A and B are shown apart, each in its own frame.
Chain A
Amino acid sequence: MIRVNDLHKEYHVVKKGQGLSGAVKGLFKSEKLTVNAVNGLNFHINEGEIVGFIGPNGSGKSTTIKMMTGILTPTSGEVLINGQNITKHRKEAVRDIGVVFGQRTQLNWDLRLEESFELLRHIYRIDKKQYSETLEVMDEILGIGEILSKPVRQMSLGQRMKGDLAASMLHSPKVLFLDEPTIGLDVGTKYSLRKFIKEINRLRKTTVILTTHDLGDIQQLCERIIIINSGVIMEDGNLSEIVERIAPYRTLKVEFYDSDIPKHERAELISEDNNVACYKFFKSELTAAELIRDLSGEKAIKDISIEEAGIDDIIRIAYGIKNVE
């Protein structure tokens, strides 16, 4: 469905002169600074996948999405959407994609939502029947019926996001790209957005690629994640497998009756606070049952809970690997 081959992107930052004379000078000679935002990405995404693109700020997520959606021309390498090179055959290739940016709307400020939709219907040559069917589905999932006649400039962020989501699906694209869609959204809209992604993936087999900082989004939506840092892929694979591989440990939180906390030779005591202690242990070396048995043999236990490593740990570790290099 999507193939990315050895993708690179450099930005050229121009130091600007002042005023008109500066601008004119800039035409002829200018000091340039090169930023290597993306450094050789290779991956393949199959139809119907939901892939989470994660990484710290400035790691190149947006740049990658913009190259995949035809907005930026790669410095080198290529992006194939359904076999078509998006840089060379932009007009054809973009028919298969929908794009939503969290920070900026694709809708026209001056128009009502339904007017923006009407324009899109003409742009993508969507037939009336398919159009009204999609609208119906979008109303069911997102409840956009009530905001259709509202001017976009009067919408709340959440309403606008719903409008953008529906707009991106009108032409039934095979792939949907979302760059930080949940940023700044209230809990309710965030919930609708996740429902929307799951539903279009289930109903239409839409392939979804999203970037997010929200771990909830990843946990609830993505089977596969691609971790990127400094424009390089650190990890690419099944979410639970990555967790299993790079963070194969759990933590056991134990509350004792007093603050005299026992140690264990095969578990690391990572924190203690009065009579509460956290032990980190590897599944391969020790079972939770063994640890609890040993600890309770030494001191009386009041309460316990077990936690798996979270995605935040995974990301931290993945970034950490890079830092060590």
Chain B
Amino acid sequence: MKKLLDTLGHYLDVTLCNIKLALMVIIEYPASIAGWLISNPIQFIVGFATIKFVVAQFGEINGWNYGQLAFLYGLSVISHAVSMMFFVQGWFMGYSVIEGDFDRYLTRPLGVLYQFFFTTFNIFGITDLIPGIVVFIYGCIETGFRFTLGNAVGILVMIIGAAFIRGGIYIMLGSTSFWTKSANDFGQYTQEIFDKSTMYPISMYPESLQFILTYLIPIGWVSFYPVSGLMGIETAVGIGSGNVWITFAVGIIVMLAAGLMFRIGLRRYESAGN
């Protein structure tokens, strides 16, 4: 127990040092952040405007009214932003496998995955958070969502679980490079699939696809099921305010599976030849 706390303290200490250094790099190269600050929010606002347009045309999507869609969309963007802050490196894991970047992490006395994600801390992810929060608040007002301690904790738990599901999937996709030995860049495809299946209700897709998104690649748990639970909308797995906790559990399971796959892959790591 004492040893565990000591280890946690050590990792926290290194993380804080990394965040400090990341901030210093931003201060040193401020131009690099400007692009993010402008392009990301614009992207999401445009996406949201699209929904507004669709809803204006059809009144609602699969029984979801405008406010509920905003609520869903907002939370999806928020968990995306959190996953970008902590796990964006996963998109580039293939390159690190091929380029031999893990050499450095392997020769240091810390977890390899930890170092991979946290030695280049992506503070820019925060910029994605802002449009997400704006749309989410809008959704709350529109639906008259009443905050209680229970559902506030639920939303927090759901965001963590959702970020874990996203991050875990990035890690699994990235780890395939240990086997293929090529830098598979899944980033863009993954993002499109995530966007399409977390920003809109998946009940609008064919049942077979819904099944896959629920049980096989559990993206449905990123936002659709937990938000359905919070909004009191019935789904294929039933209504439940407990859905947020299932999201959390699914997040942990996906993350553990991803960690295991990464570990097995790392044994096949061949560094970079010359």
Chain A residues with a Cβ under 8 A of chain B: 11-14, 16, 20, 22-23, 26-27, 30, 62, 66, 69-73, 90-92, 94-95, 97, 99, 101, 103-104, 106, 108, 110-111, 115, 118-119, 122-125
Cα distance A123–B111 in the bound complex, in angstroms: 11
Contact A124 B109 (CB under 8 A): yes
A118 to B13, CA, bound (A): 12
Cα-based distance from A95 to B268 in the complex (angstroms): 23
Task: Check A111/B18 contact, CB under 8 A, given A94-B108, A123-B108.
Answer: no
Known: A16-B182, A71-B106, A122-B14. 6 other contacts (CB 8 A): A12-B268, A66-B271, A70-B106, A108-B119, A110-B25, A122-B13
Say yes or no: A125-B274 contact (C-beta < 8 A), given A70-B107, A94-B109, A95-B109.
no
From A14, A91, A111, A124, contact of B25 by CB (8 A): A111
Query: Looking at the complex, which one of A20, A22, A125 makes contact with B10 (CB distance below 8 Å)?
Result: A125
B270 at the A interface (CB under 8 A): yes
Distance of A19 Cα from B168 Cα, bound (Å): 24
Q: Which of A27, A30, A90 contacts B106 (CB 8 A)?
A: A90
Pairwise interchain contact A123-B110, C-beta atoms closer than 8 A: yes
B184 within 8 A of A: yes
B29, B109, B267 — which one has the most chain A CB atoms within 10 A of its CB?
B109
Q: In the complex, are the beta carbons of B109 and A91 less than 8 A apart?
A: yes
| B195 in the interface (beta carbon within 8 A) | no
A16 touches B274 (CB 8 A): no
> Who on chain A is nearest to B176 by CB?
A27
Quick check: is B103 within 8 A (CB to CB) of the other chain? Answer: yes
Judge whether A71 and B184 touch: CB under 8 Å: no
Q: Which residues of chain A are near B148, meaning CB under 8 Å?
A: none
A91 to B274, CA, bound (A): 26
Size of the B side of the interface (Cβ < 8 Å), in residues, is 34
Residues of B within 8 A of A95 (CB): 109
Pairs A-B, 7 closest by C-beta atoms: A26-B180, A122-B17, A73-B267, A14-B181, A91-B109, A99-B107, A71-B106
List of A residues within 8 angstroms of B25 by Cβ: 110-111
* Shortest Cβ distance from A69 into B: residue: B107
The answer to the question of B102 belonging to the interface, with a C-beta cut-off of 8 Å to chain A, is yes
CB distance from B62 to the nearest CB of A (A): 31
Are the CB atoms of B180 and A14 closer together than 8 Å?
Answer: yes
Q: Determine if B181 and A16 form an interchain contact, defined as CB atoms under 8 angstroms apart.
A: yes
- CA separation between A182 and B257, bound complex, in Å? 43
B residues near A103, Cβ cutoff 8 Å? 274
Task: Select B103's contact among A12, A22, A66, beta carbons within 8 Å.
Answer: A66
Min CB distance A301 to B, Å, is: 49
Q: Are B180 and A123 in contact (CB under 8 A)?
A: no
For B269, what are the chain A residues with a Cβ–Cβ distance below 8 Å? Answer: 71-73
**Does B8 belong to the interface (CB within 8 Å)?**
no
Question: 16 pairs across A/B with beta carbons < 8 Å?
Answer: A13-B181, A14-B182, A27-B179, A70-B106, A70-B107, A73-B267, A91-B110, A110-B29, A111-B24, A111-B25, A119-B14, A122-B13, A122-B17, A123-B14, A123-B109, A123-B110
B109 / chain A contacts, CB cutoff of 8 Å: 91-92, 94-95, 123-124
- Quick one: which of B111-129 are within 8 Å of A by CB? 111, 119
B104 contacts partner chain A, Cβ-Cβ < 8 Å: yes
Q: Are A115's CB and B21's CB within 8 A?
A: yes
